[in-house]
A = this chain, B = another copy of it.
Amino acid sequence: MRGIARLARELGVSTATVSRALNGNPNVNKATREKVLEAAQRLGYAANQAARSLAQGVTHSVGFMIELDHESTTSTDYFFMGVVEGMQAVLAAHGLDLLVLPCAKSQDNFTFLQRFVSRGAVDGMILAETRRIDRRIELMQSSGIPFVTLGRSDSGGGYSWIDLDFEGVMATAVDRLVGQGHRRIAVTVPSNDANYGTIFAQAYQDSLARHGLAFDEELVFPTRRREDDGGSLVDGLLDRPDPATAIILFYEVTAIGIYRRLAERGLTPGRDLSIIGFRGEESVRFLAPQVTCFHMSLPDLGTAAARALLAQMPLTAPAFSSGVLQRRVPLSLVPGESDGPPASGVR
């Protein structure tokens, strides 16, 4: 005999009483409860999770599905760890376990998610790297399991998401550059199919429009998260009749290639070409002159996601707030020396 039954026999009470004592049910004599808890402690007892889930119909755990993809932002340990830290803290405070579920890039992410969801392995789900069109969202909606996405998508109806405030960042960056006198502002966008690329590009267009600046498709450069892409970029920017004087980078690492090529051409970042990075990354912290970029609290992002999820979970949702929550987490500008007024005689 094992598990709760063993405890029950040991103490001469029924399994029901043990269960109640262990679960904080008020209908247990105080003395009995203590006896049970003591014995549980002594025997190193912990309720079997499968049995518990089966009986309760609830797992007390939420999944965080991530995709293993070198190219993606969320796949850097730093980003991931930071976000998870925030999530974990909030969830743990509500008695929920966070299970990070890594999906291989080669694997179909829809099927992957479906498995966990339809098997009832989690009570809630957080999805990362949302695509512009993402079937996972409809899947989650039809499953009825609470979920939140880290990133917006065009799929599905109203659902909860947390995203970076790309619009705010872009507006701030463009405002700053325009204020410095720039008129030809280029931008890099991610070359993958994550939705943030589209959003970033759109925000760029909108910001230009707000200043009455013309949108030139040739100033939009799809780049990968590799520093090398910075080199050719510089040539593309400058070797044209109407060169750009500033650039906003989605991936900050691109700055490394840019700096290098600028140096080769005898040019100086911040003077001959103004550069603003999106999210400050560690690899770039050491560049001189320091890249002007935006910072954010990664744990806060995780916290926000976890909270949005909790708001939908029957167990924890405060009755009043259970609903769709959509929020853009702001980033704050950290001025460096990589931007400034455009050199008059460009080139």
Q: Mark A52-82, 1 if CB is under 8 A from B, else 0.
A: 1110000100000000111000111111111
Contact A78 B81 (CB under 8 A): no
With A and B bound together, what is the CA distance between A59 and B116 in angstroms?
13
Contact B119 A46 (CB under 8 A): yes
Contact B46 A50 (CB under 8 A): no
Contact B70 A82 (CB under 8 A): yes
Contact B75 A81 (CB under 8 A): yes
Contact A50 B81 (CB under 8 A): no
Confirm or deny: A51 has a beta carbon within 8 angstroms of a beta carbon on chain B.
yes
With A and B bound together, what is the CA distance between A286 and B100 in angstroms?
32
- A54-B51, A84-B102 in contact; A282/B119 too (CB < 8 A)? no
Confirm or deny: A256 has a beta carbon within 8 angstroms of a beta carbon on chain B.
yes
Contact B256 A286 (CB under 8 A): yes
With A and B bound together, what is the CA distance between A120 and B3 in angstroms?
11
Confirm or deny: A300 has a beta carbon within 8 angstroms of a beta carbon on chain B.
no
- 30 CB < 8 A contacts A-B: A46-B114, A48-B54, A48-B120, A49-B119, A49-B121, A50-B52, A50-B53, A50-B59, A50-B120, A52-B119, A70-B82, A74-B77, A75-B78, A75-B81, A76-B77, A76-B81, A77-B78, A77-B282, A80-B81, A88-B104, A92-B104, A97-B101, A97-B116, A98-B101, A99-B99, A99-B101, A100-B102, A227-B286, A260-B286, A283-B283
How many copies the complex holds: the figure is 2
Confirm or deny: A325 has a beta carbon within 8 angstroms of a beta carbon on chain B.
no
Among A85, A102, A260, find the residue whose CB has the most chain B CB atoms closer than 10 A.
Answer: A102
**Across-interface contacts of A46 in B (CB, < 8 A):** 114-115, 118-119
Residue of B nearest to A53 (CB): B50
**Across-interface contacts of A103 in B (CB, < 8 A):** 88
Instruction: Report which A residues bind B (CB closer than 8 A).
Output: 44-54, 59, 68-70, 74-82, 84-85, 88-89, 92, 97-104, 107, 114-116, 118-121, 227, 256, 260, 282-283, 285-286
**Across-interface contacts of A227 in B (CB, < 8 A):** 285-286
**Across-interface contacts of A59 in B (CB, < 8 A):** 50
Instruction: Tell which of B89, B98, B283 touches A282, judged by Cβ atoms closer than 8 Å.
Output: B283
Contact A47 B104 (CB under 8 A): no
Residue of B nearest to A114 (CB): B46
**Across-interface contacts of A121 in B (CB, < 8 A):** 49
Contact B100 A88 (CB under 8 A): no
Contact A88 B68 (CB under 8 A): yes
Instruction: Tell which of B50, B77, B104, B116 touches A89, judged by Cβ atoms closer than 8 Å.
Output: B104
Contact B82 A80 (CB under 8 A): no
With A and B bound together, what is the CA distance between A290 and B214 in angstroms?
42
